Amino acid sequence: MDVVNDIIAWKRDGHELDAARLDAFVRGVVDGSVPSYQASALLMAMVLRGLSDAETVGLARAMVASGKTLDLSAVRRPVVDKHSSGGVGDKVTLALAPLVASCGGVFGKMSGRGLGHTGGTLDKLESIPGFRVQLPQGEFLRQLERIGVAVVSQSERLVPADRVLYALRDVTATVEEDGLIAASIMSKKVASGTSALVLDVKVGRGAFLKDLDHARDLARRCRLVGDAFGRPVSCVFTAMDAPLGRAIGNRLEVEEAWDVLRGAGPGDVREVVLTLAGMLLALSDAGVDEGEGRRRAAAALADGRAAEHFERWCYVQGGTWKPGEYHRLAGREVRAPRAGFVGAVDALAVGQAAQLAGAGRRTVDDTIDAAAGVVLARVVGDGVGGGDLLATVYARDGGRRERAAAVLETAFTVAEVSPERSPVVLGRG
């Protein structure tokens, strides 16, 4: 206990934690010798004093060492991955994974579930009847070899320290520290064994990161960890003031991702998917740069290969994909109070409305309704007349619909002048 007290005091007083101290802390968290109150005290000291670049890398190393590391060498090809910092309507992985595979890359991902107003990829995939998100390691590897794509739930053997520390951070107001965030993200990605990573860092009202400067610092720290482990990391910043696309909810987002794979769908979703596909194909062994990767991806959307690969992926992973065939819930419409232009659509309010409808969780133990959510009829810049449809919220019972609709109404700003449309891709870092 004296050792842990010394580590807490060392950081409290503004000193840098070396590898030995970080290793001792992480080992103690995992084996239970460091009680939660001491772990929480050190996390608070980290937030108040901040983590240096060296501490960020050292913490990530200790967290990776806390569990198993997945060996993907049996695939005999580079396996690429993408991580999103979380947003509203972010169904990008659903389209991106089969798209990269249809262009000759190998996309392997261990993903998580949604919590709060942002959705989780696993919840969306499980809205497809029969889709299995838990695969034994051998089956995961064989599927990557066979069809070049697999998205599965995170193994409990990988980075067990992160599960303990994240649970503590969530209840002790110690989430918002860039070093802690970067170490959490990158330790899991390194342990998952993928060869290269693209980070899609969401920025704006509906994202965890509200401004681009903060997002750039997080991306820089993630790249530092990637460099330390020999994992190339590329970063792109995408807008999240308004939702991505028009569908927010689990099955609703799968349907919209399917539209993108068929060569249609909302332009902002398509733009993010194509940007990331070009980046990932350039990091794979496809022998292309980003520009050519993007061109190949666009061709795969246009000629049906991407949609065909999505169907194959669903089949191999146990799912039965029948677009448009799911239990539709009753909807409650939200309409424009007056004529004008949609000046803003608050992503946070839309995400909260979808959560109230049943599409999201407030705690990890909550159940979700796969069919619940929100569909936007108008997006920023669209003209509207008084009484025109803005959005519809879908929920299983009237009480949920009304509560969600009340929040959804606050999401829309109707302006007299059409606003300038901002790009969805804000830059690279």
Mean per-residue pLDDT over the chain, rounded: 95
HEC profile for 356-397? HHHHCCCCCCCCCCCCCEEEECCCCCCEECCCCEEEEEECCC
Q: Which domains does the chain have, with CATH numbers?
A: 2-50 (1.20.970.10), 73-316 (3.40.1030.10), 331-415 (3.90.1170.30)
- Binned at pLDDT 50, 70 and 90, residue 167 comes out as confident
Res 116 pLDDT > 70: no
> Higher confidence at residue 70 or residue 363?
70
Q: Is 332 left (phi over 0), alpha (psi -120 to 50) or beta?
A: beta
- Binned at pLDDT 50, 70 and 90, residue 15 comes out as very high
> Higher confidence at residue 331 or residue 113?
331
Q: What is the tens place of the pLDDT at every residue in 272-285? A: 999 999 999 999 99
Q: What pLDDT sits at residue 117?
A: 64
Q: Is 173 left (phi over 0), alpha (psi -120 to 50) or beta?
A: left
- Binned at pLDDT 50, 70 and 90, residue 154 comes out as confident
Active-site residue, 188 included: yes
Q: What pLDDT sits at residue 208?
A: 85
Give, as one character, the DSSP assignment of residue 75: G
Q: What pLDDT sits at residue 173?
A: 87
- Binned at pLDDT 50, 70 and 90, residue 21 comes out as very high
Question: Which range, of 85-89, 146-150, 196-200, 377-381, averages the lowest pLDDT?
Answer: 85-89
Q: What's the mean pLDDT in 84-112?
A: 95
- Binned at pLDDT 50, 70 and 90, residue 367 comes out as confident
Res 170 pLDDT > 70: yes
Q: What's the mean pLDDT in 293-314?
A: 98
Active-site residue, 117 included: no
Res 39 pLDDT > 80: yes
* Residue 217 to residue 166: CA distance in whole angstroms: 20
- Binned at pLDDT 50, 70 and 90, residue 364 comes out as low
Active-site residue, 83 included: yes
Active site residue: 184, 192, 195, 284, which one? 184
Res 118 pLDDT > 70: no
Active site residue: 11, 61, 82, 83, which one? 83
| CB-CB neighbours of 417 under 10 Å | 8
Active site residue: 11, 109, 113, 169, which one? 169
Residue 267 has phi, psi (to 5 degrees) of: -65, -35
Q: What is the tens place of the pLDDT at every residue in 226-249? A: 999 999 999 999 999 999 999 999
Active site residue: 23, 81, 123, 162, which one? 162
Res 114 pLDDT > 80: no
* Residue 351 to residue 227: CA distance in whole angstroms: 34
Active site residue: 21, 188, 294, 401, which one? 188
Res 14 pLDDT > 90: yes
Question: Which range, of 14-23, 121-130, 169-178, 387-396, averages the lowest pLDDT?
Answer: 169-178
Q: Would you state the structure tokens that stand for residue 75, as one six-digit string?
A: 């695939």
Q: What pLDDT sits at residue 315?
A: 98
Res 94 pLDDT > 80: yes
Res 1 pLDDT > 90: no
Q: What pLDDT sits at residue 86?
A: 86
Output the pTM of the full model: 0.94
CA dihedral sign of residues 298, 129, 206, 150? negative
* Strands ordered across the beta sheet of 389-394: 247-249, 373-376, 389-394, 331-335
* Residue 423 to residue 98: CA distance in whole angstroms: 25
Give burial (CB, 10 Å; 0-12/13-18/19+) of 183.
Answer: buried
- Binned at pLDDT 50, 70 and 90, residue 115 comes out as low
Q: What pLDDT sits at residue 176?
A: 82
Q: Would you state the structure tokens that stand for residue 113, as one six-digit string?
A: 């579930």
Question: Which range, of 15-29, 162-176, 314-328, averages the lowest pLDDT?
Answer: 162-176
